Amino acid sequence: MPHSPTRLALFGDLLDFAGEPALDDPSPHGVRYRAAHWLLIEDGRVAGVQAEAPDASWPQQRHAGRLILPGFIDTHVHSAQIDVLGAWGTALLDWLETHTFPAEARMADPAHAAMVSGLFLNGLLATGTTAAMVFPTVHKGSVDALFTAAEARGMRVIAGKVLMDRHAPDALRDDVAGAERDCLDLITRWHGRGRLAYAVTVRFAPTSTPQQLAMAGALCAADPTLYMQTHVAENRDEVRWVRELYPEARSYLDVYARAGLLHRRSVLAHGIWLDADDRAALAASGALIAHSPSSNLFLGSGLFDWRALAAAGAAVTLASDVGGGTSLSMQRTLADAYKMQALRGERLTAWVALHAATRGAARALGLDAEIGSFDAGRLADLCVWDWARGTVAERRHALAAGLHERVFAWLTLADDRNLVSTRVAGVERWRRADTPAAA
């Protein structure tokens, strides 16, 4: 079992956020950068930040010239879909049938579910993600396996049994009464246990009957501390299908609103094909969109309008959406978010992207008192990064003018090879092989 001293002082270049940056302004509004500072960790929490070296009661670990960030928060990812990363040649609906559903069906086997869950969480840690909102599968055992693995690693994980009672293979369909029993049992055993939380998990509107959506809404109404996660308006064919299945609803998003599934703990992935009324409804409810740029580009789903959501006052976070997305790396996700906005004629700053995957995500999930920053009292979920690796990246880093250019170059040129160490609540859970043992 990994061990961390009760006290630890980490030295490096600390970067987090004290406020929310502007969408396309590279000036450091809201940015808190403290080069060559000490981050003090006590009993797994941030005890403070200071320029001077701490006294001898603090074991020290020096990362001079390295970047220290809060751990990334991935707000939408599928644990079982690591088996279909990089699957070729299909758009969303065909991709589900051809690749996703067969991989998810294998999670009925408890041994397979346990293996995949551990591999998946280790993959997150090895790319700098310390907290995630996860879709397991329709199988109750897949939720148990994921929560068990997350608890062993001390990670903040939000997840729940996937609900699908129609338009899915026989092996992946449930029924309303059985699904409700499974959810209630899982909620009793896991919700609020340590750093785990339960999310009522609707796959998407086409795979749930109105009766199942109503049941999911009733679960949310009965316990407002529960999260809800689903997909919305990812693909135009999907939107048309929802219109046929739910003709009484004003829009795809309205299907969820009518079922009581749109509230301040609702996380809806994608949200590409929304209109102004939808965006206003999101803002009014406090629900958030988990923007999944890598997946949207890979599946050809469309170009997300970040500015329109932000202008409406709706929260936007970032998500890898593996396996539609092609990597668990949030760095690649952030870089793809920039590229997507560039296609729309926008220039997303490094600050907005990083904020949406750290403090912004924590705040949107109601977890900003726990994670997402280096404020005193926050759990020490953090990662240490090399600013640059390799002669080309090192040359670019050396020539970067100003902090935003340095960070943007890191965001676009670095990858998981730059990651030195990942800590969860102060405990080192991943370390690069060429890095000396932690203090």
Q: What confidence tens digit (pLDDT) does each residue in 26-59 have? A: 999 999 999 999 999 999 999 999 999 999 999 9
Using one digit for the tens of pLDDT, what is the confidence trace for 176-230? 999 999 999 999 999 999 999 999 999 999 999 999 999 999 999 999 999 999 9
Segments forming the whole domain that contains residue 19: 7-71+371-431
Domain co-membership, 60 together with 182: no
Domain co-membership, 241 together with 132: yes
52/388 Cα distance (integer angstroms): 26
DSSP-assigned letters across all residues of 172-191: G---HHHHHHHHHHHHHHHT
Cβ pair 331, 127 in contact under 8 A? yes
Diameter of the chain measured on Cα atoms: 68
In a domain, 53, yes or no: yes
Global pTM? 0.96
Domain co-membership, 98 together with 65: no
Instruction: Using the predicted structure, report yes or no on whether residue 283 has a pLDDT greater than 50.
Output: yes
End of a domain among 328, 361, 386?
Answer: 328
Q: Backbone phi, then psi, for 421, in 5-degree steps?
A: -155, 145
Residue 384 bridge partners (DSSP): 68, 421
Using one digit for the tens of pLDDT, what is the confidence trace for 387-422? 999 999 999 999 999 999 999 999 999 988 999 999
**What's the CATH number where 133 sits?**
3.20.20.140
Domain co-membership, 169 together with 276: yes
61/7 Cα distance (integer angstroms): 11
Q: Is 419 helix (H, G, I), strand (E, B) or coil?
A: strand
* Residues 357, 3, 380: CA angle, nearest 5 degrees: 25
Residue reference for tokens 């890898």: 320
In a domain, 194, yes or no: yes
End of a domain among 295, 328, 361?
Answer: 328
329/137 Cα distance (integer angstroms): 22
Give residue 203's identity as a one-letter amino acid code: R
342/336 Cα distance (integer angstroms): 10
Min mean pLDDT across 95-104, 139-148, 401-410 is at 95-104
The per-residue pLDDT for 2 is 53
**What's the CATH number where 395 sits?**
2.30.40.10
Domain co-membership, 46 together with 76: no
Instruction: Using the predicted structure, report yes or no on whether residue 128 has a pLDDT greater than 90.
Output: yes
In a domain, 344, yes or no: no
Query: Closest by alpha carbon to 134, among 121, 123, 122, 125?
Result: 121
Mean pLDDT for 49-75 is 97
In a domain, 254, yes or no: yes
Where b means 16+ CB within 10 Å and e means fewer, 322-350 reads bbbbbbbbbbbbbbbbbebbeeeeeebbb
The per-residue pLDDT for 96 is 74
18/314 Cα distance (integer angstroms): 20
In a domain, 439, yes or no: no
Domain co-membership, 263 together with 382: no
- Burial label for 126, CB within 10 Å (0-12, 13-18, 19+), is middle
Domain co-membership, 252 together with 395: no
Domain co-membership, 165 together with 176: yes
Q: What band does 92 get if pLDDT is binned at 50, 70 and 90? A: low
Domain co-membership, 172 together with 217: yes
Across the chain, mean pLDDT equals: 95
Q: How far is CA 290 from CA 50, 95, 420, in A?
A: 34, 20, 27
In a domain, 26, yes or no: yes
Domain co-membership, 77 together with 62: no
Provide the phi-psi class of 74: left if phi over 0, else alpha when psi is between -120 and 50, else beta.
beta
Domain co-membership, 210 together with 296: yes
211/179 Cα distance (integer angstroms): 12
Q: Which two tokens stand for residue 346?
A: 């926008």
Domain co-membership, 168 together with 38: no
Secondary structure, 3-state, 327-351: CCCHHHHHHHHHHHHHHCCCCCCHH
Using one digit for the tens of pLDDT, what is the confidence trace for 323-365? 888 999 999 999 999 999 999 999 999 999 999 999 999 999 9
In a domain, 358, yes or no: no
Cβ pair 226, 161 in contact under 8 A? no
Instruction: Using the predicted structure, report yes or no on whether residue 1 has a pLDDT greater than 80.
Output: no
Number of domains the chain is built from:
2
Mean pLDDT for 237-259 is 97
CB-based contacts of 188, cutoff 8 Å, min separation 6 = none
End of a domain among 299, 328, 357?
Answer: 328
In a domain, 361, yes or no: no
229/399 Cα distance (integer angstroms): 43
